[in-house]
Amino acid sequence: MTRTYQSDDWNEYRMEYGDPHRELEPLEKEVAVVDEALAMLHEVGVLPHTHYDHRKMLAHRKAVRELFEIPWTAITPRMQRLLYAINAITQPANMIAAGVFCGNTFVSNAGAAVGPGACYRAENLIGVEIKPQEAERAERNVRRVDATGVARVVAGDAVDVVREFKEPLHLLYLDADGTDRRGKGIYLDILEQGYERMPAGAVVLAHNSQNCAERLKHYLSFVRDPANFSASVNVIFDIEGLEVSVR
């Protein structure tokens, strides 16, 4: 089953990439929009329910604002909330995030299990970044909110890291933009390396489903094919978009 959640204001809801913490709308509006997206994800069977702890989400946001060095990010507050909520609801024991840059995207996912927003215990939360200096900064950032080491950033190619991860993979977050002509087309290469180890109910999240839809067309065809994923929803509440797919 494939669906699209599209908010009326997706094209007007804009952030400054260099000013990630600025409030873009009243909190109630942000929560309402994300709740609508979660309701559709629940309706099609991606999520077992839509409940998550809103106070913990805000504690996570506060820690990232105070402790992370973020030169820029395209993760809007709505997207940060949605990523946190999906992880809080599905509680993946093993999660890999591919292409994490300074770690903001990674911690939006991992923050449901580590730091002040933690609501469950995970086993392996791995952020992968191909540029060593960015990986170092991301790891430094993550260490400031997670003293346990459960969430960690490795420098490497996500295609290799996912291939070499031999445990069941419960959540895969895709944001790598590749180092060659593939660009974001690399999403499908990364997914192919982990697909067989994703159990029923495992979730794949693909950032930029809206503004990189053309580049992602092979990836999107794959996850929207019911032979490969039981449901896939394109969430468009900002100009980037997130494709949420469940095995």
Residues making contact with ligand SAM (CB under 6 A): 73-75, 98-99, 101, 104-105, 128-131, 134, 157-159, 175-179, 186, 207
The token pair at 84 is 């946190």
Q: How far apart are CA 76 and CA 161, in angstroms?
A: 27
Residue 138 belongs to what H/E stretch? helix 132-145
Q: Which is nearer to ligand SAM, 73 or 245 (CB)?
A: 73
Report the DSSP pairing between strands 124-129 and 94-98: parallel
- 161: how many CB neighbours lie within 10 A of its CB? 21
- Measured at the CA of 198, the angle between CA 219 and CA 216, to 5 degrees, comes to 10
Give CA–CA dist 124/110, Å, rounded.
10
For ligand SAM, the closer CB: 46 or 159: 159
Contact (CB, 8 A) for 223 and 194: no
Residue whose CB is less far from ligand SAM, 137 or 231: 137
Q: Are 180 and 108 in contact (CB under 8 A)?
A: no
Bridge partners of 129, per DSSP, are 155
In this structure, what token pair is assigned to residue 27? 């909190």
Whether the CB-CB separation of 122 and 98 falls below 8 Å is answered with no
**CA pair distance 68, 216, nearest whole angstrom:** 30
Residue nearest ligand SAM, Cβ-based: 99
3-state SS assignment for residue 5: strand
* CA distances to 38, 167, 227 from 86, in Å: 8, 21, 23
